[in-house]
């Protein structure tokens, strides 16, 4: 699915912004996020995970720099207060301020060329898209009155194999289940951070049995992030992102076991009452999943 290549396709995305600034902003975030925050630059958007000590993703943040000691992080608006509150617990004596600045910015997304708006930050995202962060104090056109939709954006995320975390899926997945190691969301050569021990162990010992994969249903169904289900071969799954498509079908990213190889027994289990039985076929991702360990 593509988005129109003009101003009219700019799409409101329901994203929020948290701001981390101060002399210790970089060092503080280095101890909290899975990527190397010291490499964040203005004009760039770095994907990083914020995890529990057990390595489960609380939120995914797209981080950019306003200045060397002044960073913005973009996440679904529903999660920004959660992340701000949790990060503040660990400030202690660090010289850093953490604030929810969602009300200060209008965040839209587009594909291809974008208009240059005074004061706006245009940041590359995915394979061919960009996020535009527009200060609400700026005199800019209303980017929300557009034919592009959040569904279009989510469909592009699914095609790009890019995960997202919402309240419904916060703390549901270990980092590698979301393929963060394959889409540039983990720096294995940086120092310690919350959840690092579990994430590093999963990487070096090859203990990741379930991965995010891409599917399309072959019969009408309605799926949403956080929903559990079971494929006809017995494999259970949990939805990361999903969008409805033509004829009542659904395209989605879900964390599940790899399909059984020829001669292997599928994962044995009977559907639980709360699970949906889904007929689906697997679609290709733009990157290769590691071989089964």
> Which pLDDT band, with edges at 50, 70 and 90, does 113 fall under?
low
Output the CA torsion 62→109→255→173 (10° steps): 30
Question: In this predicted structure, what is the pLDDT of residue 9?
Answer: 53
Instruction: Examine residue 23 and state whether it is found in any structural domain, yes or no.
Output: yes
Encoding tokens for residue 62? 């797209």
Q: Is residue 144 a part of any domain in this protein?
A: yes
Let me know if residue 130 belongs to a domain: yes
Residue 205 banded pLDDT, cuts 50, 70, 90: confident
d(CA 165, CA 149): 19
What is the per-residue pLDDT across 132-145, written as a single tens digit (0 to 9) for each? 999 987 665 554 44
* Across 240-249, average pLDDT: 97
For residues 38 and 30, give the distance between their C-alpha atoms in angstroms, rounded to a whole number: 8
Same domain, 63 and 153: yes
Q: Which residues of 220-234 are buried (b: 16+ CB within 10 A; e: fewer)?
A: ebebebbbbbbbeee
Whether residues 15 and 119 share a domain: the answer is yes
- Beta strands at 276-278 and 228-231: parallel, antiparallel or unpaired: parallel
Residue 91's contacts (CB-CB under 8 Å, 6 or more residues apart) are: 28, 98
Which of 250, 265, 258, 186 has the alpha carbon at shortest distance from 219? 250
For residue 60, give the nearest of 71, 69, 47, 72 by alpha carbon.
47
In a domain, 1, yes or no: no
pLDDT at 6 exceeding the cut of 50: no
**Backbone region of residue 179 per phi and psi (left: phi > 0; alpha: psi in -120 to 50; beta: other values):** left
| Residue scoring higher pLDDT (19 or 117) | 19
pLDDT tens digits for range 139-176: 655 544 444 689 999 999 999 999 999 999 999 999 99
Same domain, 57 and 141: yes
Residues forming beta bridges with residue 186, ordered by sequence position: none
For residue 102, give every residue at least 6 positions away whose Cβ sits within 8 Å of its Cβ, in sequence order, or none: 16, 17, 18, 77, 80
Residue 56 DSSP label? B
Report the CATH number at residue 147. Answer: 3.30.1360.120
* 55: containing domain: 7-167
What would the two tokens of residue 209 be? 């049995």
pLDDT at 275 over 90: no
> Does residue 135 sit in the same domain as residue 218?
no
Task: Give, for 105, the enclosing helix (H) or strand (E).
Answer: strand 105-111
Q: CA dihedral in degrees (170, 176, 177, 182; nearest 10)?
A: 110
Domain-embedded: residue 173? no
Choose the final residue of a domain: 111, 134, 167.
167
pLDDT score, position 200:
94
The last residue of a domain, from among 134, 167, 200: 167
Cβ–Cβ < 8 Å for 133, 120:
yes
111 and 239 both lie in a single domain? no
The CA distances from residue 131 to 30, 202, 286, in Å, are 24, 32, 20
> What total number of domains does the chain contain?
2
241 lies in a domain?
yes
């Amino acid at each position: 699915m593509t988005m129109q290549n003009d101003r009219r396709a700019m799409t409101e995305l329901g994203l929020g912004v948290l701001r981390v600034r101060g002399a210790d902003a970089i060092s503080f975030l280095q101890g909290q996020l899975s990527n190397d925050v010291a490499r964040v630059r203005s004009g760039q958007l770095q994907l990083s995970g914020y995890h529990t000590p057990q390595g489960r993703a609380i939120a995914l943040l797209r981080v950019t720099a306003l200045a060397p000691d002044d960073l913005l992080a973009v996440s679904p608006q529903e999660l920004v207060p959660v992340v701000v509150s949790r990060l503040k617990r660990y400030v202690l004596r660090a010289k850093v301020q953490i604030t929810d600045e969602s009300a200060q910015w209008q965040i839209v997304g587009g594909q291809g060329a974008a208009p240059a708006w005074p004061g706006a930050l245009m940041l590359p995202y995915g394979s061919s898209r960009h996020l535009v962060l527009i200060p609400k104090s700026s005199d800019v056109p209303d980017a929300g009155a557009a034919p592009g939709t959040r569904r279009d954006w989510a469909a592009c995320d699914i095609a790009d194999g890019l995960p997202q975390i919402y309240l419904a899926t916060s703390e549901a997945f270990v980092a590698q289940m979301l393929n963060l190691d394959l889409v540039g969301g983990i720096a294995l050569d940086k120092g310690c951070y919350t959840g690092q021990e579990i994430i590093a162990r999963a990487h070096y010992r090859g203990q990741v049995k379930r991965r995010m994969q891409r599917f399309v249903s072959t019969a009408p169904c309605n799926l949403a992030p956080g929903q559990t289900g079971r494929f006809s071969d017995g494999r259970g799954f949990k939805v990361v992102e999903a969008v409805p498509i033509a004829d009542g079908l659904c395209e989605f990213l879900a964390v599940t076991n790899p399909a059984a190889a020829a001669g292997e027994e599928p994962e044995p289990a009977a559907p639980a009452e709360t699970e949906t039985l889904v007929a689906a076929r697997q679609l290709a991702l733009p990157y290769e999943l590691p071989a089964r360990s």
